[in-house]
Amino acid sequence: MATQHPDHAGVPPWKKNGDAFISAQEEVEECVSAFRDLKCQEYMWDWEGKYVDEAVVDKLFSKYYDFFKKKTLGGDVFLTFRLPNIWEEKGYRLARAYIGILTFEDLAHDLGFKHPPVFEVILPMTDDAKKLLHLQKTFSQVAALKHQAFGDKEKRFTYLRVIPLIEGVSHLTASRKILMEYLDLHRREYGAAPDYLRPFVARSAPSLNDGLVPATIAAKIALSEYYRFEDETGIPVFPIIGVGCLPFRGGLSPRRVDAFLREYPGVRTVTIQSAFRYDYPLSEVTRAIGVLNRALGKHRAPLYTADQVRRGGQINALFSAEYKVTVEALADRINDLSRFIPQRRERMLHFGLFGYARGEGGVRLPRAIGFTAALYSIGVPPELIGAGRGLRAAKKRGLLDDLESIYVNFRADLIEAGQYLNKENLNFLAKQDTAWATVQDDVKLLEVHFGEELGPRRSEHYLHRNLVSSAYLLWREGREFGEYILDAAKIRRSLG
């Protein structure tokens, strides 16, 4: 599933003007390129937190009719809307999405296509099964109103499939309950169970809220719970996971496919975000997508016992506590840094889930991409925050074996992130604020555990270190440093 996440540093190969910024109007061309050139099978059209071209299907059919005659939209390749969450923002954009979905089906029918172009939508921040059913019921109501108002001869399309995107660590580990409640509500409303479900595991927002280790463990537990749901109900599940290239946001890049597949067996769909597509050579990108298309779905997720889930929750609590106390103390500096991260999409003003989770008067942070980019841009990878102290606490509680058995790539991910660590910058920061000194503690504890030093290893890592040293010094002096941020991002092949 190609997505519109704005995490790329480089210029998309399909752009002719050399500009890395992608406007809402250009996303139609991007969608076709993902299907045609990269062989992605699905494209997420994102209505949440960004501006969107509402005539997407009209433009796809008018500009690329011959392509979609061969690759049917809704049959061979798929366009999936990520809708705004009306419990977090106003619902007027949801109404526009509904009307678009319904009129797209009319257009497709008139053109002789057999499938609705959009028949499945994603609900972000799903925390209650009732919200899934609410979307389905309101869509059916809008469909009936359209039929009545415009005199449609037949009601062809009234049932909308909804994908729950579950984003919080606690919600992920308890997500089988959400699926069970949805199954019960669906049976009451429609007299039957859904014939399949595609639960969507978030990896960026949980990392932003709780840190790398809790996000990974929660995702693994969620996948286990989905397959347990399948075994108990007989309803097939086809889990999705939303991942970026850097370990903090999931660690799926063209060069880490094998490690990703070891970490997340049971996943059936993965997000191929902008950095994956645009910050690596095209030949590597297409080869990696081909591997994923062949490999996804070959294995089920392991089923964890109740005791393993309980111990995973204990590990999450230990790591999350250390991460949060540091990030809350550093929020102002991170927010300031994030202002300088280059923009790649027409985003609306939006604060990350951390702000929602902390409630009234709580700490607010930028979205996960901006947060990750800000910290990498001064040489302090967010993967490290809380990780050493959490590891020490897990050892004391006798949970180290559980940690390493659930989080398969724990060592590899932290060592990979650690290659972008700039100890000199961290030392400067620690002298100004003791919260940064706790990150120094994390580094020391991880180095003792791994038996090796974190820091640059290859020439590109040393070049990255030099660039973020310059960025830090210029930031401290109040001077322009955007060029250094972008050059460093190009080296690590992702903004954040």
What whole-number distance in Å separates Cα of residue 358 and Cα of residue 360? Answer: 7
Which carries the bigger pLDDT value, residue 80 or residue 357?
80
Render pLDDT for 51-79 as a digit per residue (tens, 0 to 9).
899 999 999 999 999 999 999 999 999 99
Check the CA dihedral 298-304-310-315 and report its sign: negative
What whole-number distance in Å separates Cα of residue 215 and Cα of residue 57? Answer: 35
pLDDT of residue 351: 42
Average pLDDT, the chain: 94
pLDDT of residue 354: 44
Q: Around Cβ 173, how many Cβ atoms within 10 Å?
A: 24
Domain map (residue ranges) of the chain? 27-295, 317-492
Render pLDDT for 356-379 as a digit per residue (tens, 0 to 9).
333 334 688 889 999 999 999 999
pLDDT of residue 441: 98
Residues in the chain: 496
Q: Determine contact, residues 40/272, Cβ cutoff 8 Å.
A: yes
Render pLDDT for 223-241 as a digit per residue (tens, 0 to 9).
999 999 999 999 999 999 9
Work out the angle at residue 255's Cα, subtended by the Cα atoms of residues 247 and 421, and round it to the nearest 5 degrees. Answer: 40
Render pLDDT for 384-421 as a digit per residue (tens, 0 to 9).
999 999 999 999 999 999 999 999 999 999 999 999 99
Q: Around Cβ 331, how many Cβ atoms within 10 Å?
A: 20
Render pLDDT for 427-479 as a digit per residue (tens, 0 to 9).
999 999 999 999 999 999 999 999 999 999 999 999 999 999 999 999 999 99
pLDDT of residue 197: 98
Confidence bin at 153 (pLDDT 50/70/90): low
Confidence bin at 350 (pLDDT 50/70/90): very low
pLDDT of residue 353: 41
For the record, the structure tokens of 370 come out as 């901006």
Contacts of residue 395, defined as CB under 8 A and 6 or more positions apart, other chains included, come to: none
pLDDT of residue 75: 98
Write the DSSP string, 462-489.
HHHHHHHHHHHHHHHTT---HHHHHHHH
What whole-number distance in Å separates Cα of residue 167 and Cα of residue 206? Answer: 6
What whole-number distance in Å separates Cα of residue 251 and Cα of residue 224? Answer: 20
Its CATH architecture, for the domain 27-295, is Alpha-Beta Barrel (3.20)
Ranking 12-21, 320-329, 341-350, 415-424 by mean pLDDT, the lowest is: 341-350
pLDDT of residue 315: 98
Work out the angle at residue 353's Cα, subtended by the Cα atoms of residues 347 and 358, and round it to the nearest 5 degrees. Answer: 135
SS3 212: helix
Q: Determine contact, residues 226/175, Cβ cutoff 8 Å.
A: yes
- CA distances from residue 263 to 14, 167, 257, 405 in whole angstroms, order as listed: 32, 19, 10, 10
- Kindly state the percentage of the chain with pLDDT values over 90: 90
pLDDT of residue 349: 52
What whole-number distance in Å separates Cα of residue 160 and Cα of residue 113? Answer: 18
Check the CA dihedral 425-430-431-432 and report its sign: positive
Give the mean pLDDT of 115-144. Answer: 96
If we measure between CA atoms, which residue out of 21, 103, 95 comes closest to residue 55? 103
Confidence bin at 154 (pLDDT 50/70/90): confident
DSSP state of 74: T
Q: Quick one: CA torsion of 120, 290, 270, 373, rounded to 10 degrees?
A: -130
